Every structure is written in C-alpha cells, then in structure tokens.
Amino acid sequence: DIQMTQSPSSVSASVGDTVTITCRASQGITTWLGWYQQKPGKAPKLLIYGASDLQSGVPSRFSGSGSGTDFTLTISSLQPEDFGTYYCQQANGFPITFGPGTKVDIK
C-alpha cells in the first residue's frame, strides 16, 4: 500500500498569509494526487486534482504542485473561510489512501 504523510500536522496563520502544506507518498505516484478541505461536521471538498489542476469553483488562491513523491498545497492570501483540515489523497492505485491531515487555524 502507498503511505501518505503530511506536514505540518497543524498550522496557525493570519488572514493574508501564505500557507504551504506538504504531502509525501511512500512511492512514486506521478501526478495522481488530490487535495481536499474539510470543515467540522461537513464532508470533504475537492480542491485540487492531478496534483495541480484546480477543481471547478475553487478560488484561485489555492494551488498545487509536485510530482512523483513530493507535493505541495499552497493557500495564497489566506481568508477566514479557509480554516479546516486539509487532506491529500493518492489515486495511483488501490487501496486509495489519504494523508493524516493538516489542520489550519486562523489567528
């Protein structure tokens, strides 16, 4: 199975800041990587797929990069509504696996 790790596990940032979350796969997954945002009590929401493609309707301040084993989610100019937990997910093969999550708090 492909193991996914994320860092940091939590981050607290101010409105307007740039936040960077990293995700690492235990083996190469080319660009089969997605990012989700989840708010408390809600279902996850797809932000980025294919490592860098922005899902329809997602603000352009969210961006993704990377390939192989190392990936990054960047939130530029953090907004109050961006609080929540962010998960990466590999879609290179079954079983599909998620990272442990990164909790983003707004200072």
Partner 1 sequence: EVQLVESGGGLVQPGGSLRLSCSASGFTFSNYAIHWVRQAPGKGLEWISFISSTDSIRYYGDSVKGRFSISRDNARNSVFLQMKSLRVEDTAVYYCAREPPVAVSATGFFDSWGQGALVTVSS
**Residues lying near partner 1 in the complex (CB under 8 A):** 1, 32, 34, 36, 38, 42-46, 49-50, 53, 55, 87, 89, 91, 94-101
Q: Which is nearer to partner 1, 68 or 100 (CB)?
A: 100
Contact (CB, 8 A) for 17 and 65:
no
Q: Give least dist CB 83 to partner 1, A.
A: 17
* Residues 6 or more apart whose Cβ sits within 8 Å of residue 38: 44, 45, 84, 85, 86, 87, 101
Q: Note the helical H segments in the chain.
A: none
Cross-strand pairs, 45: 37
Cβ-based nearer residue to partner 1, 73 or 97: 97
Q: How far is the CB of 17 from partner 1 (least distance, A)?
A: 24
Which is closer to partner 1, CB of 44 or CB of 68?
A: 44
